[in-house]
Structure 1
C-alpha cells in the first residue's frame, strides 16, 4: 500500500520505517527542510537503536522516501498518518493541537481518491471529530475517513514494540477504513499482532489511560520506596513480592528518581485537563503529577544528605542525563532538576551520558561534560547514577574508588547491591533501601 507519514519526529520516523519494512511504500513528510536534507544524507535526527540501519535498508530498497511537499505523496496515498507533535500548551497544560489541525487542512487540500486519514499523534478525546470537520470544511469533495491509531512505542525499544506489539488499537466505525488499516497491519498476522477495533473516541482515550496507569505504577512504587527507607525495608523485594501477583505485574515497579520523557508528563497533564473540561476530575492522576514533580526536586537533597548536609565546594559526578537508557531524549529528564538543585546548593557538577550530552548542553550549560564514567568520577566527592545505561551496570569498582575523592555512591536506579558496594568500601545510598 502507499502511505504518507506526516511528521518525521520519533513516532513518524519509526512508524514510517517499520511500515516500509513491512513492504509498503512510504513517504515521510516534514516542513523542516534541514531535517529532510539530513535524512536524504542518511543522518537520523534521533537516537534509537537499529533505526539507522532500518531506514537505510528501506531507502535503498525504494520503499521509503522523504520530502517537504505533502501534495504528491498525499494525493497518491491510500492512508495518511498524522504523526506531528502535540506538546503541552504553554500556560495551561492542554495538548497543543495546532500542528495536527494545520496538517489536517493541508492533507484535505491534497486528497484525491478515497483515503484514510489516521491520527497517530497522541491527541485528546474528540480530536478526530475536529480533524474530520476540518477536512470537510477545507475540501467538501474529499472522499476520506478519519481514524485513530495511537502508538505504544517505548523509546529505546521502539522497533521491536512496533513489530511485536501487545495490541494495535484502531478507532473507526468506517468499514472501508477498517479494511485499509487491516491490510496495512496484515504483515503482523504471522506474529499474531492483536488488532482491537473500537470507536474513534475510545481509541483516543485508551492511549491517555495507558500512559496515566503506567505513570501511576511508577509513582506508587516510588512512594513505597520512601516508606521502605523509613521503616528499614527493601523496596526491590517489595516490588518483586507484589509484581509476582499476575493481577499487578512486575513491569514499571522500579523505584527511581521519578518519570520524565516526552509522553508521561505531557499526557498525564493533558488527561487531567480533559477530565476537568468534562467535569470528571481525575484526582489520582492529579496526585501522580504532584508526587512526581516533588520527587524529582527531592533527589538533590538525597545527595546533600549523603555528603553530610553541605554541598558548598563539593564536586558531584552524575552518570546518565537522558530520562531513560537507549535514547538521547532529555525532555523532562529527572537529571535536570537534580543537577539544577546541586548547582543551587553550591556544588560543581561533572556529567557523562552515552548519547544525550549534545541535548543536555542546551538544558544544562553550566556543568562539565566528560568523556566516560571514570573521567566523570575524577576527584568527585560523590557519584550519582541517574540513568541506568548498561555501561554503568558493571563499572570497575576498584578503579572507581581510586578515582573518586570520597567513596560515596548515590544510586538512584538501584543498579548495584548494597552488600556488593560495602565489600568494596563504598558509602552507598540507594532508593528505598537501608543505607
Structure 2
C-alpha cells in the first residue's frame, strides 16, 4: 500500500519507518526543508534506538522516502497519516493549528479514495473538524477520516510499533476499516489485539491511557514519601502491589516525577476537555498538581542531603533527559530541579549520554562534562536524575575517590542501600531509608 506521513517528528518518522518495514511504500512529508535534507543524508533528527538502522534499510529497499512537497506525495495514497505536533497552548488546551493546516494541505491534492488518519494525539472532536476542513476545501473528494492513536514509548518505540499491546482504530466507515486492517495486516497475523471503535472513542482512549499511567507514577511517588517516614522500602511495596494482576508492575517505579512529550501535555489537555463538557477530572487535576510539587520537593531533598545548604557547593549530575534512551528534554524533571538548586547557590556540573545538545537550549550556566566521571572531581555530591544503563555500573571506588565527600543522591533508585553502604557512601534514594558507610541508618 502507499502511505504518506505528514510530519517527520517522533511519531511520523518512527511510524513511517515501521510501516515501510512491514512492506508498504511510505513517503514522509515535512515543511522543514532542513530536516528533510538531513534525512536525505541519512541523518536522523531524533535519538531512538534502532531507528537509524530501520530507516537506512527501508530507504535502500526503496520503500521509504522524504519530501517537502505534499502535492507530489498525497495523490494516489491509500492512507495519509497526520503526525504533527499538538503542543499545549497557554490555556492548557492542545494547539491544533498544525493538525488543521495539515488537513488543508491534504485536501487540495486528494485523488481517489483515501483514508486520512489522525495519528497525532488530539482532543475529542478533532477528527470531525478535520473532516469538515477537507470537505469544505474539496467537496468532491472521496475520503474518510479515522483515528489511530500512537502508543509509542520513547526509547522503545520500534518494539512498541512492531509488537504493540493493542492497535486502536477509530472509524465507523467500512472502507476505512478495510484499509486500516490491510495496513496492519502483518501485525494482525501475529495476533495483535485490534480495538475497532468510533473516532471519538479512539481519541479519548489515548488521553485516558496516558492519564492513568501518570496517575500510577504519581501514586507510587506519594507512597514513597510515606515509606521514607516509616522505614519501609517502596520497591518492595511496588512489587507487592504490582504482582496483583489487577494493578500490574509497570509505571510503579518511584522517582523524581513524570515528564516527557506525552504525560504532561495529555493530562493537561484531558482536564481541559473535561471542564468544557462540565465533568472536571478531579483525580487527573490532583495528579498534575502533585507532579509539579514533586519536582520542587526533590530539589529540597537534595539540599537536605547536603546538610540543608548548597550555597557555593558543586553538584555533579548524571542524566538530564526525562528518561533514558532518548534525547527528549520536554518537561524533564531536570528543567525544574536544576534551576532550583542553582537558585539555592549550587554550581551544577552535568552529563547526559544523548541529551546535552537539547539541554543546552533550556538549562543555563551549567558546566557540561564529557562523560559520567567528568562531573565528579571535587563535587560535594553526586545526583542521579536519569537512569541510563551506563550509570548503573559505575566504578564506585573511583566515584568515591573523585568526590569531595562520598555523598550520592539517587532519585531513580538504581543502586541498593546495602551495596552503597558497603562501598562507603552516604546514600539517599527515593522511598527507602538513607544509609551511611557501614550501613548505619539516619
Q: Which residue of 1 aligns with 2:369?
A: 370
The Cα offsets for residues 163-217 of structure 1, whole Å up to 9 and x where unpaired, read as: 0000000000000000000000001123211111000000000000000000000
TM-score for the superposition, normalised by structure 2: 0.98
Answer yes or no: is the 8 Å Cα contact 2:188–2:194 preserved in 1.
Answer: no
Number of aligned positions between the proteins: 434
Instruction: Write the mapping of 1:387-402 to structure 2, written as runs, cut at 5 A.
Output: 387-402=386-401
The equivalent of 1:24 in structure 2 is: 24
In 1, Cα distance between equivalents of 2:29 and 2:297: 42
| Residue aligning to 2:87 | 87
**Is it true that 1:35 corresponds to 2:35 in the alignment?**
yes
CA deviation digits over 1:392-415, x for unaligned, max 9?
Answer: 001100000000001000000000
Kindly indicate whether residue 187 of structure 2 is the aligned counterpart of residue 185 of structure 1. Answer: no
Q: Distance in 2 between matches of 1:382 and 1:233?
A: 25
Give 4+ residue runs of structure 1 displaced > 4 Å after superposition: none
Alpha-carbon distance in 2 for matches of 1:17, 1:321: 28
The superposition leaves residues 254-293 of structure 1 with CA deviations (integer Å, 9 ceiling, x where unpaired) of: 0000000000000000000000000010000000000000
> Which residue of structure 1 aligns with residue 440 of structure 2?
none
Q: Is the 8 A contact 2:4 2:74 kept in 1?
A: yes
The 3-state SS of whatever aligns with 2:26 is strand
1:76 CA displacement:
2.0
- Secondary structure of 2:75's partner? helix
Partner in structure 2 of residue 264 of structure 1:
263
The 5 Å alignment of 1:207-246 reads 207-246=206-245
Shift of residue 421 of structure 1?
A: 0.4
The corresponding residue for 1:171 is 170
- Residue 75 of structure 1 aligns to a residue whose secondary structure is coil
1:78 corresponds to: 78
**SS of structure 2 residue aligned to 1:191:** coil
- The CA distance in 1 between the partners of 2:374 and 2:351, in whole Å, is 8
Mapped to 2, the partners of 1:192 and 1:41 lie a distance apart of 37
Distance 1:306 1:152 in 2: 38
Q: Secondary structure of the residue that 1:66 maps to in structure 2?
A: strand
Cα shift at 1:72: 1.7
* Partner deviation per Cα, 1:92-125 (whole Å, 9 max, x = no partner): 0000000000000110111010000000000000
Give the deviation of 1:71 after TM superposition.
Answer: 1.2
CA distance in 1: counterparts of 2:133 and 2:293, whole angstroms: 40
After superposition, the C-alpha distances for 1:325-358 in whole angstroms (9 at most, x for unaligned) are 0000000000111110110000000000000000
SS at match of 1:332: coil
2:271/2:284 contact within 8 Å kept: yes
- Map residues 212-361 of structure 1 onto 2, 5 A cutoff: 212-361=211-360
The residue number in structure 2 matching 1:417 is: 416
Give the SS at the match of 1:110: coil
Q: CA RMSD in A?
A: 0.6
Provide the rounded CA distance (Å) in 1 between the counterparts of 2:429 and 2:29.
45
Distance (Å, rounded) in 1 between the aligned partners of 2:117 and 2:188: 21
Shift of 1:365: 2.3
Cα distance per residue 1:226-273 (max 9 Å; x no partner): 111111111111111000111100000000000000000000000000
Instruction: Work out the CA distance in 2 between the residues paired with 1:187 and 1:74.
Output: 24
- Taking structure 1 as the reference length, the TM-score comes to 0.99
**Following the alignment from structure 2 to structure 1, what is the Cα–Cα distance between the partners of residues 374 and 129?**
53
